[in-house]
Amino acid sequence: MSGQQAPAVKKQRTQPSYELLYHPHIPGRGEFIRLAFEAAGVPYTDVANEDSENGYAKVQATCMGDDSGTEGNPPVFSPPALRIAGAGRGGNALIISQTPNCLIFLGDKLGLAGGGGEEEKLWVQQVALTALDLNNEVHDTHHPIGVSLYYEDQKEESLKKARDVRENRLPKFFSYFSRMLSWNAAKAQHTKLVGDSLTYADTTVWQVLDGLYFAFPKEMQARQAEFPELLDTFYKSVREELKTYLESSRRLKYSEGVFRSYPELDRPS
Amino acid sequence: MSGQQAPAVKKQRTQPSYELLYHPHIPGRGEFIRLAFEAAGVPYTDVANEDSENGYAKVQATCMGDDSGTEGNPPVFSPPALRIAGAGRGGNALIISQTPNCLIFLGDKLGLAGGGGEEEKLWVQQVALTALDLNNEVHDTHHPIGVSLYYEDQKEESLKKARDVRENRLPKFFSYFSRMLSWNAAKAQHTKLVGDSLTYADTTVWQVLDGLYFAFPKEMQARQAEFPELLDTFYKSVREELKTYLESSRRLKYSEGVFRSYPELDRPS
């Protein structure tokens, strides 16, 4: 038996290989998923950004166009999606899509779903889902009429939509997140939304707030005194937890995604 | 000991007591949750519709306004929510909100999450989430500028938004659901989206299609030849499974909710 090679199976990964399939160069909806990996300190491959030559073609093949499923998985409606090698049936990859679906899946695997069992898991889920609804509404401030039309072709409507979102929707969502923080304050003094450790509810709400600071700086500045626990204590505390990532080159700049800098859509001076 | 009364604990329910907290009189987002109960044949209380005197006040107390949580549960952003007596901590009720969150919870409890383990559960979830995204886009065809404004005050914008949804978004979503049916056809010949038994992916997609038949009858008629598996085989098959409920008085009529009949927003003749 001496001299025999160790069987290949010994080379098996001790950790799943997570691949994020998303558009390159923008934070977008992929950012909610990146933040989960980064907060947990778990490695992942950002396919389109890490392989500038072939990465986006891989994303497109799985997530866009008229695909009818890949590697035994059903078709994907649109990016982001996750591919986890070996986690599917018969040794195939598991491919799942829809931002909340990816977060719910990762919340469990990465320990970001709260430490309080089923009940806390459901609350983390409902807060993250609400933050993603807000994310959609913010997207619609520059695309109220059609996703496939240019902003310039729906600018008049954007001015009206942005005003409604700033004046009515932001305070409604901010009030809810603030009440969550107050409700949970006995456990985490306004630094966590559910339970006493960081969850994907925190990272998801944080990312929307951070995007809003980019898109509507004047509006956010004006709201700060109204929602201090959310826009000061919570926002800064989560930013501190994500500091290493946020200062790295992996953190992509806002540009032409969900959060855009159109000063005319912000609160008038 | 003779003559002693049986202790109260013996009266304990053998089945959880599910309460749906939602606005009265409209199907709305509550309908996705009603369909799950009805498809599973599991009893539930539709609080606002069954108690016309006090029901809606109960919904409002838990789900609307500036509540800071009820019975140990965190605040709710907006209806629908589920209240399950005795399922929370220390014998309290469990209250959860957000339509997808309620469906994911019930999918597990009511056997509507597919029979294929974790993997199928994730796919059911992602299909239902996508159908709920479409539901939101359909809502925005009559409210593209502001939820709190009247339709009449955003009619010009609605005409543009509805056109984009009819011409671009419906075919994109219908194509995806059709590809799901084809992908799954080996198991269920275009009558189920995931696996071989009814799931909340089926009931959720079906409800959106049914609402679209009400809101955009001419558009749907015109699309039927393009998506026969979805708009004919699947739609009729699920309707048949839900027949008893749909013919009952519990099924509420469409009126001023997500799906509205504004002929000017439908496809021109």
**Residues A11-59 pLDDT 10s:** 445 577 999 999 999 999 999 999 999 999 999 999 999 999 999 999 9
* CA–CA distances in Å: residue A243 to residues A14, A35, A46: 27, 11, 19
Structural domain includes residue B3: no
Check: pTM over 0.90? Answer yes or no: yes
Residues B65 and B158 in one domain: no
- Are B157 and B140 a contacting pair, CB within 8 Å? no
Q: How confident is the model at residue B2 (pLDDT cuts 50, 70, 90)?
A: very low
Asked if B67 has any chain A CB less than 8 Å from its own CB, the reply is: yes
Residue that the structure tokens 């709260």 belong to: A114
Residue A58 has a CB neighbour count (10 Å cut-off) of 16
pLDDT 10s digits, A138-153: 999 999 999 999 999 9
On whether any CB of chain B is under 8 Å from the CB of A101, the answer is yes
Tokens of B91: 């014998």
| In-domain check, residue A8 | no
Last residue of a domain, one of A109, A139, A168: A109
Which residue among B72, B93, B109 closes a domain? Answer: B109
Q: Give me the residue from A69, A73, A168 closest to B146, CB to CB.
A: A168
Residue B169 domain flag: yes
Q: What confidence category does residue B14 fall into, taking pLDDT thresholds of 50, 70 and 90?
A: low
User: pLDDT (tens digit, 9 = 90+) per residue, B197-217?
Assistant: 999 999 999 999 999 999 999
Shared domain check, B236 and B158: yes
Q: Is there a single domain that holds both residue A92 and residue A140?
A: no
More confident residue, B104 or B91: B104
Q: Which of A162, A79, A166, A174 is nearest to A130 (CA)?
A: A174
Burial string for B236-256 (b: 16+ CB within 10 Å, else e) reads: ebbeebbeeeeeeeeebebee
Q: Do B68 and A101 touch (CB under 8 A)?
A: no
Predicted confidence (pLDDT) per residue in B211-240, tens digit: 999 999 999 999 999 999 999 999 999 999
Distances (CA, A) of A31 to A99, A177, A247, A261: 10, 20, 15, 18
What distances in angstroms separate CA B238 from CA A76, B94, B181, B182, one per listed residue?
A: 23, 31, 13, 16
Do A182 and B104 lie within an 8 Å CB cutoff? no
**3 state DSSP class of B70:** strand
CATH number at residue A134: 1.20.1050.10
B7, pLDDT greater than 90 = no
In a domain, B89, yes or no: yes
For residues B183 and B153, state if they share a domain: yes
Amino acid code (one letter) for B171? P
Question: Does B66 lie at the interface with A, CB-CB under 8 angstroms?
Answer: yes
- Mean confidence (pLDDT) of chain A: 94
Same-domain status, B153 and B228: yes
Instruction: Output the CA angle A139-B63-A199, nearest 5 degrees.
Output: 60
* CATH number for position A102: 3.40.30.10
Distance from CA of residue A217 to its chain's centroid? 20
pLDDT at residue B15, rounded to an integer: 72
The residues, ordered by sequence, that sit 6+ positions from B81 with a Cβ below 8 Å of its Cβ are B21, B22, B62, B63, B95, B96, B97, B102
Domain that holds residue B120: 113-243
Question: A30 and A84 share a domain?
Answer: yes
pLDDT over 70 percentage in chain A:
95
Among A62, A81, A109, the domain-final residue is: A109
**Whole-number pLDDT of residue B262:** 97
List pLDDT tens digits, range A227-267: 999 999 999 999 999 999 999 999 999 998 999 999 999 99
Distance separating alpha carbons of residues B77 and B98, to the nearest angstrom: 8
Q: Are residues B93 and B182 in the same domain?
A: no
User: How many cross-chain Cβ pairs, A to B, lie less than 8 Å apart?
Assistant: 132
Looking at the structure, do residues A105 and A151 belong to the same domain, yes or no? no
Q: Which residues of B touch A100 (CB under 8 A)?
A: 100, 129
Closest CA to A106 of A135, A82, A127: A82
Does B100 reach chain A within 8 Å, measured CB to CB? yes
Q: How many domains does chain A have?
A: 2
A254 within a domain of the structure (yes/no): no
- Whether B224 and chain A come into contact, CB under 8 Å, resolves to no
pLDDT by residue (tens digit) across B142-177?
999 999 999 999 999 999 999 999 999 999 999 999
